Amino acid sequence: MSIEEGYRPLEPGVRTDFSGTLDYAGYLDLDTLLSAQHPLSDPPHPDELLFVIQHQTTELWLKLMVHELVGARGFLDADDLARARKSLARVKHILRTITEQWSVLATLTPSEYAEFRDVLGPASGFQSVQYRAVEFLLGNKNPQMLKVFAGDPAAHEFLEDALTGHTVYDAFLRLVARRGLPVPAAVLERDVSKPWVEQPGLVEVFRQVYEDTSRYWDLYETSEDLVDLEDAFQLWRFRHLRTVQRTIGYKTGTGGSSGVSFLRRALDLTFFPELITVRTEIGMP
């Protein structure tokens, strides 16, 4: 056979016999992955598969985000700033990917979604344990969210660990303190299960970093990494809001939230407020 007959022949070294050995589908467990989509509409609505896959793939990316954020925290604890920055960079790219992914779901029109929305019942992305873990790892702690997972002991334990553990920002600030900068003791000794609130005493610390970049170059670069990460996260939140708004308008969310209004309030949340506030101070006498 040749290319003239309508196809390109396999190269001589390409393996075709995988009897009794690991192949691509086996390594990725594709039988499990590709059989995990179970639309509930009856008869199956042609657009429900899109809705399911959109959220399943987001959950896979969230799993990797949790993995990378936990890794970044550990590298910061070990004073390995270079590897921490690598993990943070990967999280930023994940956020860009799932932000663009909203454009696929946005092809679902209001009338199409209305034809199967009722099969979701009370199910909602609000109940994503992995999303909540990401928020906790970045500092938006909320112990009330544990109630949502009271009926799932494994999820509850997973999220409780994230709630009581220190954040990526905590780990970075501890490293900054180990470098000799005057991070306030109240920051270093804080109850890490509480949500982060802006600490005015940190602004002067970051002012020193930003105004003496030659001395604190790696701290300066990591600070900018965190700002990049927050920007990427906020863009993802915003695209979520806009996709929901164009699909259901101002209806109540399936999980009981106020929908668009609830998502809009989330845009006011910030993970690293001092890294924004310091910009007002830089260059001031």
Whole-angstrom distance, CA of residue 76 vs CA of residue 66: 15
Is 98 flagged in the annotation as binding? no
Handedness of CA 273, 240, 166, 175 (dihedral sign): negative
Helix ranges (H only) for 78-152 are 81-105, 110-114, 129-138
Is 117 flagged in the annotation as binding? yes
Is 240 flagged in the annotation as binding? yes
Is 55 flagged in the annotation as binding? yes
Angle 145-146-148 from CA coordinates, rounded to 5°: 75
Which stretch of DSSP H or E encloses residue 222? helix 217-248
Give the tokens for residue 69: 């954020």
Is 52 flagged in the annotation as binding? yes
**What distances in angstroms separate CA 54 from CA 22, 94, 270, one per listed residue?**
29, 14, 26
* Look-up of token digits 């309030």: 265
Whole-angstrom distance, CA of residue 202 vs CA of residue 192: 16
CA-closest candidate to residue 229, choices 280, 172, 188, 159? 172
The answer to whether the peptide bond before residue 122 is cis (omega within 30 degrees of 0) is: no
Q: How far is CA 181 from the centre of its chain?
A: 30
Is 54 flagged in the annotation as binding? yes
**Residue 14: what are its φ and ψ, rounded to 5°?**
-75, 125
CA-closest candidate to residue 246, choices 236, 238, 254? 238
Give the tokens for residue 245: 């708004």
Binding residues for heme: 240
Binding residues: 51-55, 113, 117, 240, 254
Binding residues for substrate: 51-55, 113, 117, 254
